[in-house]
Amino acid sequence: MTTTANTAAADQGRQDTTGPAVVVRDLRQHYGDFEAVKGVSFEIRPGELFALLGTNGAGKTTTIETMEGFRRPSSGSVRVFGLDPHGQPSGVRERTNAVLQGSGLLDDLSVDETIGLAHDLAANPRDTAELLDLVGLSDKGGVAVRQLSGGQKRRLDLALALVTRPEVLYLDEPTTGMDPEARHETWQIISGLKKHGVAILLTTHYLEEAERLADRLAIMHRGEVRVEGTLASVLAGWGDRVSFLLPEDVRTGDLPELPEAEIAVETRDQALWATYTAMGGDVADRAHRTVAALIAWAAERGITLQHLQVRGASLEDVFLRVADGAADLLTD
């Protein structure tokens, strides 16, 4: 698999870098009485990757399918290059493509034949050998689709989406089933596409994938966006954690109160642990200030903080909290 993606829009000089490629405004989507998407808004500019994360059933695929034009919004709007994508009108169809969550590959066709079909429909298709090289399937051209592994089928899905040199690309869990190496190679392909100006919407349950690739992200739960922003802004709102084993002769009430951090004490492995979550002040040095204050407090008392750990927030922490919120809502 090569690591560069000489793609699409830039090759053809047709990208519009002045405004967003995709605009979603207060999108709502019903299936009968059930509201699967409850007012979602975001924009994606050329060269930007927006990651739509969320719990199973949150409404990500429904949102993507509506953006692709397969469904008409129940209310709100989607615009792709200023056009309503419903029904995939000209002006949208040839400039967008997708890796769908459910792959629609035909088992009896060979890999070459599968790409050939997509070629027949494309105005300016990418070369088959280049595509197969890009996704690491160069030696599989003559092989029947049914003989591909799950991860190889996912690579073929990506190759198919790139045949048409899309300027907007929807990727619905594109790396599911890939081994770690293939996943890393796919991230490089996606990064290459971004560099060439492609606007990308990605859904994934691999949070590291979003951390690596996303310029901005949203976490959905039950049809709503619960958290949104750049990775840095999402994590900044979350806090860094400083924890240590509570010394035997220190009671919870003896712990110092710090103006910028919240204290929690919990039992782990039959021992008491104190955790300070540093939220306030400058993000860059809030963990340092918390640690410094705790060390000074310990020194004054002549004690040592054992198993001192400092952990920056991760997307997984935020995701789990969003999913937890779900449990709270369930019991309301």
Ligand X SMILES: Nc1ncnc2c1ncn2[C@@H]1O[C@H](COP(=O)(O)OP(=O)(O)OP(=O)(O)O)[C@@H](O)[C@H]1O
Residues engaged in binding ligand X (CB under 6 A): 31, 34, 36, 54, 56-62, 101
**What is the per-residue DSSP string for 297-314?**
HHHHHT---EEEEEE---
Asked if 2 is part of the footprint of Mg ion (rule: CB under 5 A), the reply reads no
- Smallest separation (angstroms) from ligand X to the CB of 220: 6
- Smallest separation (angstroms) from Mg ion to the CB of 224: 16
Report H helices in the chain. 8-12, 60-68, 111-121, 128-134, 150-162, 180-195, 207-213, 231-236, 286-301, 315-331
# residues near Mg ion by CB under 5 A: 3
> Candidates 53-61, 155-163, 193-201, 274-282 — which segment interacts with Mg ion by CB under 5 A?
53-61
Asked if 101 is part of the footprint of Mg ion (rule: CB under 5 A), the reply reads yes
Site track 6-45 with Mg ion (rule: CB under 5 A), x = hit: ----------------------------------------
The item of ligand X, Mg ion, none sharing an interface with residue 108, based on CB under 5 to 8 Å by kind, is none
**Of 61, 96, 243, 277, which lies in the binding site for Mg ion, with binding defined by CB under 5 A?**
61
Q: Tokens standing for 32? A: 């009968």
Asked if 176 is part of the footprint of Mg ion (rule: CB under 5 A), the reply reads no
Cα 182 from Cα 152, distance rounded (Å): 9
> Candidates 12-20, 47-55, 93-101, 217-225 — which segment interacts with Mg ion by CB under 5 A?
93-101
Which is closer to ligand X, CB of 30 or CB of 184?
30
Closest residue to Mg ion in the complex (CB):
61
Which is closer to ligand X, CB of 30 or CB of 195?
30
- Smallest separation (angstroms) from ligand X to the CB of 295: 43
- Smallest separation (angstroms) from ligand X to the CB of 195: 28
Which is closer to Mg ion, CB of 64 or CB of 148?
64
Are 168 and 9 in contact by the 8 Å Cβ rule? The answer is: no
- Smallest separation (angstroms) from ligand X to the CB of 125: 29
Cα 322 from Cα 168, distance rounded (Å): 28
Provide CB contacts within 8 A for 4, sequence distance 6+.
Answer: 188, 192
- Smallest separation (angstroms) from ligand X to the CB of 63: 7
- Which phi and psi (to 5°) does residue 248 adopt? -55, -40
CA distances 249 to 197, 277, 282, 303, Å, are 60, 23, 33, 10
Provide CB contacts within 8 A for 210, sequence distance 6+.
Answer: 51, 53, 202, 204, 217, 231, 315
- Smallest separation (angstroms) from Mg ion to the CB of 102: 9
One-letter amino acid identity for 126? Answer: R
The item of Mg ion, ligand X, none sharing an interface with residue 151, based on CB under 5 to 8 Å by kind, is none
Which is closer to Mg ion, CB of 55 or CB of 114?
55
Q: Tokens standing for 188? A: 């490089």
The item of Mg ion, ligand X, none sharing an interface with residue 58, based on CB under 5 to 8 Å by kind, is ligand X
CA neighbor of 172 nearest in space, from 270, 94, 256, 70: 70
Which is closer to Mg ion, CB of 164 or CB of 203?
203
Which is closer to ligand X, CB of 67 or CB of 189?
67
Q: Tokens standing for 89? A: 């009108």
- Smallest separation (angstroms) from ligand X to the CB of 314: 20
CA distances 112 to 102, 144, 155, 262, 287, Å, are 20, 9, 13, 59, 54
Which is closer to ligand X, CB of 54 or CB of 197?
54
Binding site for Mg ion (CB under 5 A): 60-61, 101
